[in-house]
Amino acid sequence: MTMRGSKALLKMMEDRGVENIFGYPGATVIPIYDELLNSPIRHILVRHEQCAAHMADGFARVSGEPGVCLSTSGPGTTNLVTGIATAFADSVPMIALTGQVGTHTLGVGAFQEVDSYSLMMPITKHNFRVLNPERLPHAISEAWQICRTGRPGPVHIDLPVDQINSEIDERLMTREYGIKLPREDVSGIAVAAKWIKDAERPVILAGGGIGKSCACAEVLKFAETVNVPVITTLMGMGAISSSHPLNMGPVGMHGRMCALDALRNADLVIAIGTKFSDRTYNPNTCPSETCKVVQIDIDATEFGKHGRESVDIECDVKKGITLLTEAIGRYQDNHAAWNTNVLTLKKRCVCDTMMDNNPILPQRVMYEINRIMDDNVIITTDVGQNQMWAMHFLNVERPQQFLSSGSFGTMGFGLPSALGAKTARPESKVISIVGDGGLLMVIQELATSVNENLPVTIVLLDNGWLGMVKQWQKLFWDERYSGTDLGRSTDFVQIAKSFGAEGIHVDRAEDLHDALEQAMACDRTCLLQVKIDPEEDITPMVLANPEVPIVMGRCPYNNGIGDIPSGMSRTETEERI
Amino acid sequence: MKGSRALLKMLEDRGVNTMFGYPGGSVIPIYDEILDSSIRHVLVRHEQCAAHMADGYARASGKTGVCLSTSGPGATNMVTGIATAYADSVPMLAFTGQVGTKSIGLDAFQEVDAYSLMMAVTKHNFRALTPEDLAHDISEGWDIARTGRQGPVHIDLPVDLMNADINPALLKRKFGIKMPIEDVSGISIATNWITQASRPVIFAGGGVISANASSELIKLAEMTNIPVVTPMMGLGCIPSTHPLNMGPLGMHGKRCTADVFSQADLIIAVGTKFSDRTYSAHTAPGKTCKVIQIDIDGTSFGKHGRESVDIKCDAKKGLELLTEELKEYTSNHLGWTRSTSEMRKRCRCKNDYYTSPIIPQKVMYELNHIIDDNTIITTDVGQNQMWAMHFLDIERPRQFLSSGSFGTMGFGLPAAIGAKAARPECTAIAVVGDGGMQMTMQELATAVSEDLPVVTVILNNGWLGMVKQWQKLFWNKRYSSTCLKDNPDFVKIAEAYHAKGIHVEKASEIREALHDAVRSGETCVVDIFVDPEEDATPMLPPDPKASTIIGRCTY
């Protein structure tokens, strides 16, 4: 028995539990689109292929299942690049399918031809080009496993149109094409356990690998067993709840000061599923040379970046942390003093966000979002100041509740990833926190949201600038603003309404709460255009260069060590900048 | 001199006065220097469009377009725009920021292996790792983009290099690139073939426009009295109204053109690549037809499968040599020219329809009324593009800008803005569909903020029309994901960006709306509701055995 390539493709996806594909049609994928009419898989029609990938990404981050996106050849393929690269940088499982010109036409400069195989290589975990019908089931089967196995990531499959139209032996579709599992090396567990027992100032550095490995409960159990404070990266937000007493909050360029102090003063860092990125771990945040590192990661390429003596445990986070917890057994806390100090730091690191200022301050927006957040809410962010305010001030209580483009920092991620999240969890309320620059990059997806009935709440922090770059120009380039002023303000509320969505202007802090409630109660997509103070920076700000003093801004943190007076008024704080 | 300053200085020295870009962490040093540079920076709203604008700028002016983005997503966002320029051989320099050289490979924030990424979509690319590299790469990059078959060159710029000091002497150093090898040995055989041909046709592509060889082409055609057909990229190299111009050839070309082309016994191909959409089983001449091909790029030869003489040189030079050799030429194909001229007369499109809903032919009819020498037309991709190609009167090179080979939806609006930046005295009109418009409509903000007013004419049929047309004609009307359902109100959107917007629903309103839009001098969106059931016809089906779909064509 044989089956048409296009049908076989969808059948194999169905067999693997795929229920949603995000895509945009074009000449070379018409056969697949024709088959979609007969498939139980739902197709979500986007308005720009970049967003098909971002939606698949958001879908995957929330559900833990691979997101699937589909585009035509040529520009359809190149338009996916940013979305795939974003997923790759944050290790998100994804299958990206692209059409291709017929195999006989490859290389002769045909209409909408691009060498997508070469193009995708630097931004995918693996990629395939199907050049004969037997390869199709093989590619799909392996791709599905590769994207989910070990460190997850996107896999790209290029599909020449003649392959999709040819007949495939059905037996091939159920054949096992086993891939090798990543090797493991857990020989360091005993040493790691000893180091943990001996440590006087241990911290856990919790990264995105914890959520991906579904190891939050295990990490929590470990942290509570050894009573070690936890700091998270941006990607680790939600691995432990914000309200947990041991959670010190996020560390990084715009992280919490108490988390920074804890990391800097540690004598042992237990790094779990994190890659020591430059924005998190750098000469200004890192602990002293004598600090040791225990690192658990499934991907050996992430070991050794920290430059400290270390034990590397190469395995899945869940397994590694379980083994470590077992090896430690009954634990006797010998770092009580450290915990007392760290908890004191945490108490001093309380952000004042309930600000009545007008123009509105973004902190106040976060305060109001915190008020309405519950377990059923998913937050996505865009990139830049909005993202850092959200990271710094929001209370994130569970994994897969906070989605953000961490490593690639892709502006425009916020809205489409929210639509992907809503597809994965229709029962959840999804709030996308974005800036005006990033929203413009993907504004057309309001049409997708409305037409595909994927209602989300968009909280636009509108300051009329490309704020993060502006902030750098303000603080480090003599206030020489170049290419960051967005000029005449755009009426986003009118744009939202033009698409058939709802829109509300919010110009006063006191109106925020009601507007948010209204948006959340709305069964349609609703955009809040919140005019915020363009002069407000995201602070504190910790550059990688230790010679540049930390920009504190409104942060009242006083670690009791330095010369920072306590109980400062707002003016004094600003003068310190 | 600081690296960032050296970069801009070298561009200034080469006559660059405009660049299109979007800032980010790794290019802040360059943006700081831009404040002190004579180069105008046009701030876009998505980096894809920085590349499309640089592309439109280059196509409209013949100069090299320059675009700039930050590392990571900034670089990946430009890929589509660069690939579009590459596929249509447009000279461009694309600069991307990169993380510092010490962080490369460590998964730093906004890091991507841009060098590998760009290799597939550029003529050449560089990663500058030392100050010497920087001077060398800009100098060579500039030359490579413009020499031989033109194309985009990408230069990756790690941020530490932008902050490093560079010896100013390096900026002046000559880093000569080799000129492409020429081979014009076939000229005398070619001359001989032309003299003997009884049904010759000139096939003039985009290379004629890139080489600024339009007048040489017309001279040869007139001297030999040989009819001219053009692929879409060749539109404008000979005026639409010229008696020898048979019009565009291809899947949605003129039928007289296909007839003439397929009956030819000699094709004189100049600067064209025999793309699948132009040269197919439906259009190809008989096996005994011969081909003379002039191209600067040797990889374009031999795709036609006919006996040929290949002349490897610039289109201008090749045309001049042929003209020179043919000085004594007397036509022996009078009968042929008479019959092609007859075919041309019979191939008249009726455009002046007063149907309701409006059909796109009428929009083209009205556009033809307002197009003058000072107008530049850009198109998006799909039906809108094919209607524009088929029905618009294009009178000069660089008047009609369209994404031919890559077929990039979203090209229309940003390309028009780029064209306007290159030729501020011109009226730039983008003819687009509702699908493509949504892909890049955020650039209305750029047009308004940067004072680059353009007119966008949306042929709004509520569908991804070209794919829908295929589904209608070849897939049993099984419409899958081509209906856009509730489209946005494009007029309200235009107004939200402080642009003008006009709705048009009646054929009788089109002319005034277009006039208002052009006269306003502002960025204006003319949203025209067109009949969703109207197809782009005639159409040569993808199946070589299927017959031409005629539609309303009266030929």
**A449-487 pLDDT tens trace:** 999 999 999 999 999 999 999 999 999 999 999 999 999
What value does the mean pLDDT take over residues B491-519? 98
Residue for token digits 């292929």? Answer: A49
Cβ distance B274 to B261 under 8 Å? no
Q: Please check whether residue B408 touches A, CB under 8 A.
A: yes
Phi and psi (nearest 5°) for A152? -65, 165
- Distance CA(B430)–CA(A414), nearest Å, equals 30
pLDDT band at B494 (very low <50, low <70, confident <90, very high): very high
pLDDT of residue A471: 98
Residues found in chain B:
555
By C-alpha distance, which of A407, A469, A405, A406 is closest to A437? A469
Measured between beta carbons, the chain A residues lying within 8 angstroms of B2 are: none
pLDDT of residue B449: 97
pLDDT at A576 over 50: no
- Distance CA(A208)–CA(A234), nearest Å, equals 8
Work out the mean pLDDT of chain A and round it to a whole number.
95
What are the pLDDT digits (tens) for B233-276?
999 999 999 999 999 999 999 999 999 999 999 999 999 999 99
pLDDT of residue A562: 43
Structure tokens at B456: 């966008």
Residue for token digits 């005398």? Answer: B188
For the residues of B442-486, what is the DSSP string, one character each?
GGHHHHHHTT---EEEEEE-SB-HHHHHHHHHHSTT---S-B--S
Work out the mean pLDDT of chain B and round it to a whole number.
97
pTM for the structure as a whole: 0.96
pLDDT of residue B175: 86
Measured between beta carbons, the chain A residues lying within 8 angstroms of B300 are: 109
CB count, 10 Å around CB of B530?
28
What value does the mean pLDDT take over residues B25-52? 98
pLDDT of residue B174: 86
Using a pLDDT cut of 90, give the percent of chain A over it.
92
pLDDT at A80 over 90: yes
Structure tokens at A460: 């636009």
Structure tokens at A179: 């891939």
The CA angle A466-A472-A474, to the nearest 5 degrees, is 90
pLDDT at A109 over 90: no
Query: Between chains, do A409 and B482 touch, taking CB under 8 Å as contact?
Result: no
First to last CA, chain B: 65
Query: Between chains, do A498 and B106 touch, taking CB under 8 Å as contact?
Result: no
By C-alpha distance, which of A352, A282, A356, A353 is closest to A508? A356
Measured between beta carbons, the chain B residues lying within 8 angstroms of A111 are: 275-277, 405, 407
- Distance CA(B83)–CA(A33), nearest Å, equals 25
E strand or H helix that includes residue A249? strand A247-250
Query: Between chains, do B497 and A490 touch, taking CB under 8 Å as contact?
Result: yes
pLDDT of residue B331: 84
- Distance CA(B509)–CA(A289), nearest Å, equals 76
pLDDT at B314 over 90: yes
pLDDT band at A574 (very low <50, low <70, confident <90, very high): very low
Cβ distance A91 to A57 under 8 Å? no
What value does the mean pLDDT take over residues B344-361? 95
pLDDT of residue A571: 30
What are the pLDDT digits (tens) for B392-437?
999 999 999 999 999 999 999 999 999 999 999 999 999 999 999 9
What value does the mean pLDDT take over residues A357-372? 97
- Distance CA(A331)–CA(A322), nearest Å, equals 14
Tell me what ipTM this predicted complex has.
Answer: 0.96
CB pairs under 8 A between A and B: 247
pLDDT at A567 over 50: no
Measured in angstroms, the CA of A338 and the nearest CA of chain B are apart by 31
pLDDT of residue A565: 33
The CA angle B152-B155-B158, to the nearest 5 degrees, is 160
What are the pLDDT digits (tens) for A7-20?
999 999 999 999 99
Query: Between chains, do B79 and A81 touch, taking CB under 8 Å as contact?
Result: yes
What value does the mean pLDDT take over residues B6-27? 98
What are the pLDDT digits (tens) for A325-342?
999 998 888 899 999 999
Cβ distance B157 to B95 under 8 Å? yes
Cβ distance B438 to B488 under 8 Å? yes
pLDDT band at A561 (very low <50, low <70, confident <90, very high): low
Residue for token digits 């037409």? Answer: A451
Mapping DSSP onto H, E and C, the string for A360-372 reads ECHHHHHHHHHHH
By C-alpha distance, which of B391, B404, B513, B530 is closest to B86? B404
A277, A450, A451 member nearest B108 (Cβ)? A277
Cβ distance B354 to B508 under 8 Å? yes
Residues 6+ apart with CB under 8 A from A141: A12, A175, A176, A177
Residue for token digits 């070379």? Answer: A28
By C-alpha distance, which of A553, A525, A526, A527 is closest to A540? A553
Q: Quickly list H helices, A394-431.
A: 414-424
Torsion of CA A56, A58, A64, A70, to 10 degrees: 0
Query: Between chains, do B486 and A469 touch, taking CB under 8 Å as contact?
Result: no
Residues 6+ apart with CB under 8 A from A391: A234, A237, A250, A252, A254, A255, A381, A402, A404
What are the pLDDT digits (tens) for B188-240?
999 999 999 999 999 999 999 999 999 999 999 999 999 999 999 999 999 99
- Distance CA(B154)–CA(B65), nearest Å, equals 12
pLDDT of residue B307: 98
What value does the mean pLDDT take over residues A170-175? 94
B72, B480, B495 member nearest A37 (Cβ)? B480
Query: Between chains, do B23 and A89 touch, taking CB under 8 Å as contact?
Result: no
Q: Name the CA radius of gyration of chain B, rounded.
A: 24
Residues 6+ apart with CB under 8 A from A327: A189, A190, A192, A193
Query: Between chains, do A444 and B83 touch, taking CB under 8 Å as contact?
Result: no
Using a pLDDT cut of 70, give the percent of chain A over it.
97
